[in-house]
Amino acid sequence: MSGPTALKASLLDPHVCVIGAGTMGRGIAQIAVAAGHAVSLVDPDAGQLQAAVADIRSRLNRKHPELATDLETRLLCAKSIDAVPAAADTLVVEAVVEDLAVKATVFAQAWDHFGPGCLLATNTSSLSITEIAAATADPTRVVGLHFFNPVPVMRLVEVIRGLDTDQEVVARVAALARSWGKEVAHVRSAPGFIVNRVARPFYGESLRLLEEQTASAEIIDEVLRGAGQFRMGPFELMDLIGNDVNFTVTSTVWRAFNFDARYAPSQLQAELVAAGRLGRKSGRGFYRYDLDADRPQPPPATSRADCPERVVMHGDSPQLAALLERAGITPQAGETGQTPSVEFPGQGMVVVTRGCTAQLESSSLGAPVAVLDLCLDPSTVDRLALASTDPDLLASLVALLSRAGVAAFPIADAPGLIVARVMSMIANEAWEAAHQGIATTEDIDSAMILGTNYPMGPFRWSEEWTPAVVLQVLDELATEYRDPRYRPSIRLRAAARTRTLSQSARSSAVSTGL
């Protein structure tokens, strides 16, 4: 035990006792100290405690040097809970190994020591809050407090209520987290909570695209960063997180959902883990991280074809219209009732993906077809995936995109291509979580932005593309694969229907002069 022999919890309300001095525990202790609380940090490993204190002092010194100077008066370190002052008004935050039995033991010791006035918060990222609470003396006083790494930097905390958690406990812990500078997302206890559930398709669908040889990891990363506006692609992010960690989280969520196909782990990732290719920490994952290894940059396609100067616009497609404008091409007006497309006279049609393969679109339109991937902002997009049934049409489209300032990445003809497929699956998971009452749509969007650095929340991009487009992509995937993995959420289907009926009503009112 280091620091003062007695800590007056009455000076600060409440006393915060963090159990576990690993990366997460020391981060939680740091923000509690910075907020002015009396803090105890408990870990049976004296070396871990010493490292934690040094780490906390170093980080506090950058922004709060006055706290770093007298850290010993603010932070009590102890090798056991019994060595901590038994302040009745204590918030216990456990950040120990993800093992139900271990957490139950920790909470039992804390309850015996601090008494029934304490609150028990778990930083678990994968275990059921209800199940953890059921192993305690009073499940009403147990709540999930899921921080994100690095704790002092990441603004999000998920506050998770178990089946028996008292609402007053939830409110108090949420208010405390806000006083620590965190944004709170309220969640009902369910596998993966918000972030670890809704984010699964970002990895899962990207892995499936790679397994099917639709595109390389480099191209998938490149396109999702460019057209999807993600800060990191899925493969570089899995390498950063650790393929072992990412695979374990996916497997845990999959098991918790009774092996639902939506969450099925990737055999390819399992192979990487078995081979020890864990990512950055092992020097190799999807990419190499040797000292002399260069990060591969996939070259975009080039074309010797001329950019078409005369094209015909059929129907209404904001994405195609924006790309033509950027290329300096004014299209001729075509048939308004036809599938939204741009016709390259004598060559074929260009469409934005609706989930169909180029081959199916070609069969439907009776002409060669090139399919463009969806993007979040066609006025600024600089990278797009595409597939085509005809090489000459593909070459002309690459030339047009080049003039528009867009790097083109041809890929195998796969349903939904890359961005439309991955982001529609993420959105579907968000709609399903909301449908099940796991969290509000606002909290889900906020959590995905703050917890994963998404460019916007999945409900927001559903609105940008319209729920009907997201639904159509999913329906086409379900039809093509015959896999329940792609079944759309009922709530998404209802949203698409409502939007369509609303648009029809407005169109009818305009046409009748109402």
Give the integer Cα–Cα distance in Å for 238 and 277: 11
**Alpha-carbon distances, residue 146 vs 118, 124, 163, 439 (angstroms):** 18, 6, 17, 14
The predicted structure's pLDDT at residue 500: 61
- With respect to residue 213, please indicate whether it lies within any of the assigned structural domains: yes
- With respect to residue 461, please indicate whether it lies within any of the assigned structural domains: no
Give the chain's domain count: 3
Are residues 135 and 54 part of one domain? yes
The predicted structure's pLDDT at residue 485: 98
The predicted structure's pLDDT at residue 503: 52
Are residues 369 and 323 part of one domain? yes
Boundary of a domain, candidates 156, 189, 222: 189
CATH at 127: 3.40.50.720
Are residues 327 and 402 part of one domain? yes
- With respect to residue 331, please indicate whether it lies within any of the assigned structural domains: yes
- With respect to residue 473, please indicate whether it lies within any of the assigned structural domains: no
Judged by average pLDDT, the poorest of 5-19, 68-82, 197-211, 252-266 is 5-19
Residues facing residue 2 across a β-bridge: 77
Judged by average pLDDT, the poorest of 65-79, 179-193, 345-359 is 65-79
Pairing of strands 383-388, 369-372: antiparallel
Are residues 210 and 183 part of one domain? no
Q: What is the pLDDT of residues 22-32, one digit of tens each?
A: 999 999 999 99
pTM of the predicted model as reported, rounded to 2 decimal places: 0.92
Boundary of a domain, candidates 158, 189, 220: 189
Q: What is the pLDDT of residues 364-418, one digit of tens each?
A: 999 999 999 999 999 999 999 999 999 999 999 999 999 999 999 999 999 999 9
Token pair 């576990």 in the structure block, residue: 20
Are residues 357 and 263 part of one domain? no
Judged by average pLDDT, the poorest of 1-15, 71-85, 87-101, 364-378 is 1-15
State the DSSP code for 288: B
- With respect to residue 33, please indicate whether it lies within any of the assigned structural domains: yes
The predicted structure's pLDDT at residue 7: 36
**Residue 185 DSSP SS3:** strand
Q: What radius of gyration do the chain's Cα atoms show?
A: 27
The predicted structure's pLDDT at residue 314: 97
Give the integer Cα–Cα distance in Å for 468 and 474: 10
Are residues 147 and 66 part of one domain? yes
Residue 272 belongs to domain spanning = 197-282
Do the Cβ atoms of 385 and 359 come closer than 8 Å? Answer: no
CATH at 267: 1.10.1040.50
Q: What is the pLDDT of residues 152-187, one digit of tens each?
A: 999 999 999 999 999 999 999 999 999 999 999 999
Summary mean pLDDT of the chain: 93
Amino acid (one-letter) located at 409: F
CATH at 365: 3.30.750.190
Q: What is the pLDDT of residues 297-353, one digit of tens each?
A: 899 999 999 999 999 999 999 999 999 999 999 999 998 888 999 999 999 999 999
Are residues 169 and 240 part of one domain? no
Give the integer Cα–Cα distance in Å for 21 and 334: 66
Are residues 24 and 166 part of one domain? yes
**Alpha-carbon distances, residue 483 vs 246, 267, 270, 355, 470 (angstroms):** 23, 17, 21, 15, 17
Alpha carbon 280 to its chain centroid, in Å, reads: 20
Give the integer Cα–Cα distance in Å for 141 and 116: 9
393: closest CA among 365, 356, 354?
Answer: 365
Q: Name the band, by pLDDT with cuts 50, 70 and 90, for residue 293.
A: low
- Dihedral over Cα of 171, 176, 179, 185: its sign: negative
Do the Cβ atoms of 121 and 91 come closer than 8 Å? Answer: yes
Give the integer Cα–Cα distance in Å for 14 and 17: 9
- With respect to residue 323, please indicate whether it lies within any of the assigned structural domains: yes
So which residues are the catalytic ones?
125, 146, 158, 196
Are residues 243 and 158 part of one domain? no
Give the integer Cα–Cα distance in Å for 205 and 474: 12
- With respect to residue 478, please indicate whether it lies within any of the assigned structural domains: no
What does the longest C-alpha to C-alpha distance in the chain come to? Answer: 86
**pLDDT greater than 80 at residue 501:** no
Pairing of strands 369-372, 312-314: unpaired
The predicted structure's pLDDT at residue 506: 43
Boundary of a domain, candidates 384, 410, 436: 410
Are residues 185 and 202 part of one domain? no
Q: Which two structure tokens, joined as six digits, stand for 142?
A: 């147990």
Are residues 236 and 158 part of one domain? no
Overall average pLDDT of the 470-481 stretch: 98
Q: Name the band, by pLDDT with cuts 50, 70 and 90, for residue 509.
A: very low
Give the integer Cα–Cα distance in Å for 342 and 456: 29
Q: Name the band, by pLDDT with cuts 50, 70 and 90, for residue 21.
A: very high
Overall average pLDDT of the 453-473 stretch: 97
Q: Name the band, by pLDDT with cuts 50, 70 and 90, for residue 499.
A: confident
Q: For the residues of 1-62, what is the DSSP string, one character each?
A: -BS-S---GGGSSSEEEEE--SHHHHHHHHHHHHTT--EEEE-S-HHHHHHHHHHHHHHHHH
Amino acid (one-letter) located at 264: A
Are residues 120 and 204 part of one domain? no
- With respect to residue 217, please indicate whether it lies within any of the assigned structural domains: yes
93: closest CA among 103, 82, 80?
Answer: 103
